Amino acid sequence: MISKLIKERRSIRVFSGKKISLNDMNKIIEAGIWAPTGCNNQELRFVILEKENVLTEVLKFKPFFRGVSHFILVLCDMSIPLSAQIYKKKSPAQMMSDLDTGLAIQNMVLLAKDIGIDSCIVNLSEQHYKKEKNLSILQKIFKEFKKKFNLHSINPNSFEYFLRNFLQIPKQYKIRAGVVFGYGKNFPNIEKAKHGKNMIKRNPMENYIIKVNYAE
Using CB under 6 A, list all residues that contact ligand FMN.
Answer: 10-11, 13, 120-123, 195, 200
| Nearest CA among 126, 124, 125, 74 for reference residue 99 | 74
Whichever of 140 and 194 has its CB closer to ligand FMN, that residue is 194
Whichever of 38 and 188 has its CB closer to ligand FMN, that residue is 188
Q: Which residues contact 92 (CB under 8 A, 6 or more apart)?
A: none
Please state the closest distance from residue 169 (CB atom) to ligand FMN, in A: 19
Please state the closest distance from residue 113 (CB atom) to ligand FMN, in A: 11
Q: Which residues contact 38 (CB under 8 A, 6 or more apart)?
A: 86, 93, 96, 97, 99, 100
Whichever of 16 and 172 has its CB closer to ligand FMN, that residue is 16
Whichever of 140 and 195 has its CB closer to ligand FMN, that residue is 195
> Which amino acid makes up residue 212?
V
**Cα 25 to Cα 28: distance, rounded to the nearest angstrom:** 5
Please state the closest distance from residue 13 (CB atom) to ligand FMN, in A: 5
Whichever of 88 and 201 has its CB closer to ligand FMN, that residue is 201
**Cα 69 to Cα 134: distance, rounded to the nearest angstrom:** 33
Please state the closest distance from residue 127 (CB atom) to ligand FMN, in A: 8
CB-CB contact of 48 with 167 (8 Å) = no
How many of the other CB atoms lie within 10 Å of CB of 46? 16
* Partners of 179 in beta bridges: 72, 121
Q: Is 74 helix (H, G, I), strand (E, B) or coil?
A: strand
Q: Which residues contact 111 (CB under 8 A, 6 or more apart)?
A: 27, 28, 30, 31
Please state the closest distance from residue 17 (CB atom) to ligand FMN, in A: 18
Please state the closest distance from residue 69 (CB atom) to ligand FMN, in A: 16
